[in-house]
Structure 1
């Protein structure tokens, strides 16, 4: 539904409302038999004209200060009681509505409505109006205020829903960015570390063993190609398309031997053993275990050196999958992965309801031990 002028142009609409109510109050009077008659503006005393003008002009600020506007209108109306120019009931009606619609505290709303009803009853008494007409006026004033109050409550609830949706979208975006950053780190750090090691090895043996250098550079090329493929896959999340045909599954436990083989090609002495781990684990558990092993091996290459001996063990203890990666390297002097690596592994474990312990071993090297619930943290 297209919004009306009071919504599209609120300031102009309120100014027009004030002008129209002022013109009607000044130019229309009540004749015999409740008939309406036109009245010339020169027939209205200056003092009454000023009071009507003040009560009408106050409506321009009815959205910003509804309580103050109602007070001004009621004060002008009270000063006009008992005269032939007590004609600001319309202004009071709009002010009461504004108090319900734009007021911020229901306590002042009740006070304002009560004050308006008092002035309305006094106006009926001084004008010798029948009590039936006064009662009808009371019902109209209360109903108008209640309509305004209900519209305000509905608008507040709608605004709260919009804020809730925006906050939820922001949380989703933040979670997705963190996931993508974690995946990018896992992929890029692992592949680039392999490329760095292979390139260094090629440089070392380039003059004495050209064939070995060529094999190392071939491994660098292959690692770079795989890194680009995985980057394209991840960046596709940021550029979703309906025609995407990429259905390659996420890596799992079955892909660990290939990961270990690549690390061995990089010169790392890795021993992999999987004991008592059954097939058919939740995909999120297998992905997290794979990424934890991948990040741990990457840290070994970066911090302990390619010559370090590394043991990778996956076992089950009770209802947990235990992933342990230990190396005997001595090249690192602090915890590896001071950036996203350790944080990412810990987040993966905690998201499944597990835990991660990383630290130096008493006899040298480092160890990473993760406990992942076999059910993937399902309740």
Structure 2
């Protein structure tokens, strides 16, 4: 059973990659180019008799009109972030030229209308801007004595630009919502499947352990009178134990994330700490290790001790850098019912970045959160923070029996 999904960016077979144009790949540069191009078009192009376009000299454009063209063109650079304001700026620049030969900002307004539909919320000012643009087209046509068909066509183009932008926005939002719903559904299915597997794990292991308990009890009762029967019962106990371990490994392998499925060997414990310390020393840390734990500990407690020390040393190496002096101390509490893990560093390594000021990124990183969670699951606690003289201190208290919180 595979409970993991393929990466979002993975290509399957020969499915083509979706085309991404310049306005998607380089939005700022594309918008700047568009603004310059429309400014130049409004400045140098004008309507000519016979529905043709003529080129005029920049000296033929009055300076006030040139300023209006420049303001309208420059406003388009912000058409994604402030689309409604850009529309009103372009309309304000277009209005004084309506009915004249300098009324050439229609293309700029069309792009602004599209941007309102594509990037703006459906606000009152956005809708009023669309109405104002249609009124400006109508007024320009009436002043120039155009046919109503031409005026209606201009209004259709203006409203169509806004409508196309709005439809693209709604389609993008629906696609995002669909992806969100699909991701939520996938998470729900995975959660349900994991819950189902957890129930199977409980049922299978409980059944096998019950069989082992019954067989062991039978072996104890007949051990004196029937050694052969007791031997057969203990053989059945051994077989049931092996089956339980095999099924447990299989189900845990399914539950474990893909990145962690390799290596189902024994989990590390206290005996592995010296090797961990040696590895960290080879990485450059100046580590001293004091192990004051004498009595054996439950496996879950030893695993938590190892993981906490491992993560703490990793944090020192990452935040303070090599040559940082670090002390790791393990000791029983005074009452003997728990143990203390203490990791101290002076924060003076080669890569130190003012640990006392940043306090290990505000003590909000995943490392400290994960260590604290391990301690809480055993019924213990974990504190971490900067030391008064510089450096960092991490102290964890764990109950020896590892009672759940």
TM-score relative to the length of structure 2: 0.51
Distance 1:75 1:33 in 2: 29
> Which of 146, 149, 156 is matched with 1:139 structurally?
156
Q: 1:124 is matched with which residue?
A: 141
Q: 1:100 is matched with which residue?
A: 117
2:99·2:140 contact (CA, 8 Å) conserved in 1? yes
Distance 1:219 1:149 in 2: 72
Note the alpha carbon deviations across 1:314-350, whole angstroms, 9 max, x for none. xxxxxxxxxxxxxxxxxxxxxxxxxxxxxxxxxxxxx
Note the alpha carbon deviations across 1:129-178, whole angstroms, 9 max, x for none. 44432222112112222222222222222222222211111110110111
Q: 1:49 is matched with which residue?
A: 66
Distance 1:163 1:184 in 2: 31
2:47·2:54 contact (CA, 8 Å) conserved in 1? yes
Structure 1 gap ranges (5+): 240-379
> Which of 199, 205, 210 is matched with 1:182 structurally?
199
SS at match of 1:53: helix
SS at match of 2:20: coil
Using a 3 Å threshold, how does the CA distance of structure 1 residues 208 and 48 change in structure 2: closer, same or farther?
farther
SS at match of 1:37: strand
Note the alpha carbon deviations across 1:58-106, whole angstroms, 9 max, x for none. 2222223322221111111113335542221101011112222223216
Distance 2:154 2:148 in 1: 10
SS at match of 1:63: coil
Using a 3 Å threshold, how does the CA distance of structure 1 residues 44 and 199 change in structure 2: closer, same or farther?
farther
Q: 2:333 is matched with which residue?
A: none
1:227-266 correspondence runs (5 A): 227-231=244-248, 234=251
Give how far 1:121 is off.
1.9
Q: 1:220 is matched with which residue?
A: 237
Using a 3 Å threshold, how does the CA distance of structure 1 residues 213 and 127 change in structure 2: closer, same or farther?
same
SS at match of 1:20: helix
Q: 1:151 is matched with which residue?
A: 168
Using a 3 Å threshold, how does the CA distance of structure 1 residues 78 and 232 change in structure 2: closer, same or farther?
same
Q: Which moved more, 1:209-218 or 1:196-205?
A: 196-205
Q: Which moved more, 1:162-171 or 1:44-53?
A: 44-53
Q: 1:66 is matched with which residue?
A: 83
Give how far 1:213 is off.
6.6
1:283-362 correspondence runs (5 A): none
Distance 1:152 1:217 in 2: 71
Using a 3 Å threshold, how does the CA distance of structure 1 residues 198 and 41 change in structure 2: closer, same or farther?
farther
Distance 1:235 1:6 in 2: 48
Using a 3 Å threshold, how does the CA distance of structure 1 residues 196 and 72 change in structure 2: closer, same or farther?
farther
Q: 1:348 is matched with which residue?
A: none
Q: Is it true that 1:8 corresponds to 2:25 in the alignment?
A: yes
Give how far 1:211 is off.
6.1
Using a 3 Å threshold, how does the CA distance of structure 1 residues 199 and 17 change in structure 2: closer, same or farther?
farther
> Which of 86, 106, 121 is matched with 2:103 structurally?
86
2:99·2:141 contact (CA, 8 Å) conserved in 1? no
Q: Is it true that 1:173 corresponds to 2:190 in the alignment?
A: yes
Q: Which moved more, 1:206-215 or 1:139-148?
A: 206-215
Give how far 1:238 is off.
6.0
Q: 1:250 is matched with which residue?
A: none
**What is the Cα-based RMSD across aligned positions, in Å?**
3.4
Q: How many residues align?
A: 239
Distance 2:128 2:77 in 1: 22
Distance 1:221 1:135 in 2: 90
Using a 3 Å threshold, how does the CA distance of structure 1 residues 203 and 55 change in structure 2: closer, same or farther?
farther
Give how far 1:23 is off.
1.4
Q: 2:386 is matched with which residue?
A: none
